[in-house]
Amino acid sequence: MAWAILRGWLTHAWAADIALALAVLVAEFSPFSGRPGTEAVLITLVAAGLVPLRRRHPVAVALLVGCLYVVAYRMPVPDAPVSAILIALYAVGRHSSAAAAVAVAVGAVVGGALVHRVSWAYGAAMALSLTLPPALPVAAGHIVRLRAELARRRQRQAAENAVRAERRRIARDLHDVIAHHVSVVNLYMGVARRTIPADPERARQALLTGEDTARQAMAEMRRLLEVLRADGEQVESQAGVGAAGLPALVEESGNAQLRVTGTAVELPAAVDHAIYRLVQEALTNTRKHAAGARSTVRLAYRPGLVEVEVADDGRAPSGGGELGLGLAGMAERVSSCGGELRAGPAPEGGFVVSARIPLTEVT
């Protein structure tokens, strides 16, 4: 428990900086370093005070700490801030450009050779072993930076792939939406054609129903058109994918319950599918990241909008991972319906995914 609290505290940048500055002081003032003089104490305090600035001004901090190192090394009793200069050189590789890192590394090697009076008379191997170490922290920092950039790039690419996959699923949903509405319009047009001579009023009602159906189809097409991508895949049936299918979906999960409030209304097909997919993805994530946790699915019909929430009582996942990619797809689908998605740890524990989707018809 104490380690978890300490680790959470150290995730704040300012807290990590303070802890690192204190570590420098402890390393330099430890009993193993002897009894430092007044000048050495001042130099160490200044060097430790510069450590928190290493992220924003890595090159400047490295130059200043290097100057302090030279001054301390030239004192009658050398007591240079070795830990501070190592941290400063690492920060140059971690937080500056490649050109700046190379320049500082070369400067550190040359400066170190001059300060320590390294001579090739020692032999090539000995001379290199004395001059190259200052460049190693810079190289280590730069390697860490490259790895972090590659990880971010892979995560961004994976998120884009998830969004593209979700767009393909939306395209399949739209296929069924349009096919349904077109078939309804065709049905009522046929009814109107056959009943115009005998029952004009009935034909008029059929035409009005067909008109409303066509308008709804156009509204849903406009809402989804921007996120469609043709991929040439075989279209899958989306029958049963909607709010009406939630009881079976929740029952299938085996460890969840469904609560519905408000008066149920007929939802636009895109919204209906979005609600089903959101609940499906959230329950899947609960099984992946919080096995054994209980989930509660809440569906609320309110004036002009519908709300859906999936909350579990498990341990909130750390780091994003696959859950982050699933949320990217959820957000794309909800946004295509004009809604808003929220997801994150709940104050009382567990994880909550919720969405508010307006039901105002788009004309």
- Please give the span between the terminal C-alpha atoms of the chain, in angstroms, as a whole number: 56
Residues 104-140: tens digit of each pLDDT = 888 888 877 776 665 555 555 555 666 677 888 888 8
Q: Which of 214, 277, 210 is nearest to 241 (CA)?
A: 277
DSSP assignment of 150-216 equals: HHHHHHHHHHHHHHHHHHHHHHHHHHHHHHHHHHHHHHHHHHHHHHTTT-HHHHHHHHHHHHHHHHH
**pLDDT value of residue 362:** 41
Q: Please give the order of strands across the beta sheet that includes 295-302.
A: 256-261, 295-302, 305-312, 351-358, 340-345
- The b-or-e profile of 302-319 (16+ CB within 10 A means b, else e) is eeeebbbbbbbbbeebee
Query: In the prediction, which pLDDT does 39 show?
Result: 78
pLDDT score at 322: 46
Main-chain phi, psi angles of 121, to 5 degrees: -65, -20
Q: By three-state DSSP, how is residue 256 classified?
A: strand
Confidence (pLDDT) at 261: 92
For 321-339, write each residue's pLDDT tens digit.
444 566 777 888 888 888 9
Amino acid at 234: Q
- Three-class secondary structure of residue 249 per DSSP: helix
Between CA 337 and CA 270 the distance in angstroms is 7
Contact 109, 83 (CB under 8 A): no
Question: Amino acid letter at 305?
Answer: L
Instruction: Provide the whole-model pTM.
Output: 0.52
Weakly modelled stretches of the chain, pLDDT under 70: 1-13, 30-37, 76-78, 115-131, 172-177, 179-181, 183-184, 219-240, 315-326, 361-363
pLDDT in the model for residue 296: 92
Q: Which residues have CB under 8 Å from 126's CB, separation 6+?
A: none
Q: What angle do CA 179, 183, 185 make, to 5 degrees?
A: 120
Give the start-end residues of each E strand in the chain.
256-261, 295-302, 305-312, 340-345, 351-358
Please check whether residue 343 is in contact with residue 352, taking contact to mean a CB–CB distance below 8 angstroms: yes
State residue 175's pLDDT score. 65
> Rounded to 5 degrees, what angle do the CA atoms 345, 351, 353 make?
100
Q: Which residues pair with 299 in a beta bridge?
A: 260, 308
* Parallel/antiparallel/unpaired status of strands 295-302 and 256-261: parallel
299 φ/ψ angles, rounded to the nearest 5 degrees: -120, 120
Check residue 96 and report its DSSP letter: S
